[in-house]
Amino acid sequence: MVQQVEASRAALSRDRVLQAAVALADTAGIDSVSMRKLSQELGVVPMALYKHVANKEELLDGMVDVVVGEIDPPRRHADWKSPADWKSAVRQRILAARRTLLRHPWASRVIESRRSPTPVVLEYMDSMIAMFRDGGFSIDLTHHVMHALGSRMLGFTQELFDDSQRLAPNAQAAGLVEMAGRYPHLVELAMAAAHEADSVVGSGCDDQFEFEFALDLQLDGFERLRQQGWSSKAPTPS
């Protein structure tokens, strides 16, 4: 009776649960997404969530679907001027994916952690494959190219590397000389990066530039293979 009117606890649904989970992850970080905290956010008892998702794994799958579903759709093949347009079509889509993933910084980690792809991710991959095929790539080449893209396909790569961002502050005071002794090349590189990045904010690397650099290098490599009518195992044209 009262409940029907009270907006803040409108009836739960799978979608409302997933939306709330994404919102919670966005604002409080992925570590805050526990069944208990999420249920609290929804004004409900923890076990109530299990009427809408089977378990936490499925919740995370659903969150991935929400995020990947936000990525702009690809340019329609019919709008292409030539097969060579594959490159800009793929490039645009991947950068769109990156824009979306950057809005949900937790998402890349969660995507990596899934053990089988969700339907929405499968559809994304399918449309990506379609672009290569429409661009004249053989099935085999498309296959290898998809593997080579890996997670870059969704707009992210694990960095494993945060050079100046972590090194420079870390290395203030006497720590730097010890660092320079132990990792001379790394420090040289970090210093150069920090210097070069004066124009950019905060002395870190320009992540967007690095991403596009790597992406374009790969796409150029793909195009070269396509043009030479890549047939079978001979990945090194040399």
Partner DNA sequence: TGAGGTAGGTATACGCCGTACACTTGTCAA
Partner DNA sequence: TTGACAAGTGTACGGCGTATACCTACCTCA
Q: Tell me which residues touch DNA (CB under 7 A).
A: 1, 4, 11-13, 33-37, 44-48, 50-52, 55-57
Q: How far is the CB of 47 from DNA (least distance, A)?
A: 3
Of a copy of itself, DNA, none, which one sits near residue 45, judging by CB under 5 to 8 A according to partner kind?
A: DNA
Residues 41, 20 contacting (CB under 8 angstroms):
yes
Per-residue binding string, a copy of itself, 196-215, x by CB under 8 A, is x--------x---xx-xxx-
- How many CB atoms are closer than 10 A to CB 54? 9
If one asks whether residue 119 binds a copy of itself (CB under 8 A), the answer comes out as yes
Binding part of the chain for a copy of itself, among 26-34, 35-43, 98-106, 155-163 by CB under 8 A, reads 155-163
Q: Which two tokens stand for residue 93?
A: 């889509």
Q: How far is the CB of 157 from a copy of itself (least distance, A)?
A: 4
Pick the closer one to DNA by CB: 63 or 167. 63
* Residue 26, φ and ψ in degrees, nearest 5: -60, -40
Residues 190, 205 contacting (CB under 8 angstroms):
no
Q: How far is the CB of 94 from a copy of itself (least distance, A)?
A: 13
HEC string for the chain: CHHHHCHHHCCCCHHHHHHHHHHHHHHHCHHHCCHHHHHHHCCCCHHHHHHCCCCHHHHHHHHHHHHHCCCCCCCCHHHCCCHHHHHHHHHHHHHHHHHHHHHCCCHHHHHHHCCCCCHHHHHHHHHHHHHHHHCCCCHHHHHHHHHHHHHHHHCCCCCCCCHHHHHHHHCCCCHHHHHHHHCHHHHHHHHHHHHHCCCCHHHCCCHHHHHHHHHHHHHHHHHHHHHCCCCCCCCCCC
If one asks whether residue 122 binds a copy of itself (CB under 8 A), the answer comes out as yes
If one asks whether residue 160 binds a copy of itself (CB under 8 A), the answer comes out as yes
If one asks whether residue 153 binds a copy of itself (CB under 8 A), the answer comes out as yes
Rounded to an integer, what distance in angstroms lies between the CA atom of residue 38 and that of residue 20? Answer: 7
Interface with a copy of itself (CB under 8 A), residue total 64
If one asks whether residue 159 binds a copy of itself (CB under 8 A), the answer comes out as yes
Pick the closer one to DNA by CB: 57 or 112. 57
If one asks whether residue 178 binds a copy of itself (CB under 8 A), the answer comes out as no
Pick the closer one to a copy of itself by CB: 47 or 122. 122
**Binding residues for a copy of itself, per CB under 8 A?**
109, 111-113, 116-117, 119, 121-123, 125-127, 129-130, 133, 139-140, 142-144, 146-148, 150-151, 153-154, 157-163, 166, 182-186, 188-189, 192-193, 196, 205, 209-210, 212-214, 216-218, 220-222, 225, 233, 235-238
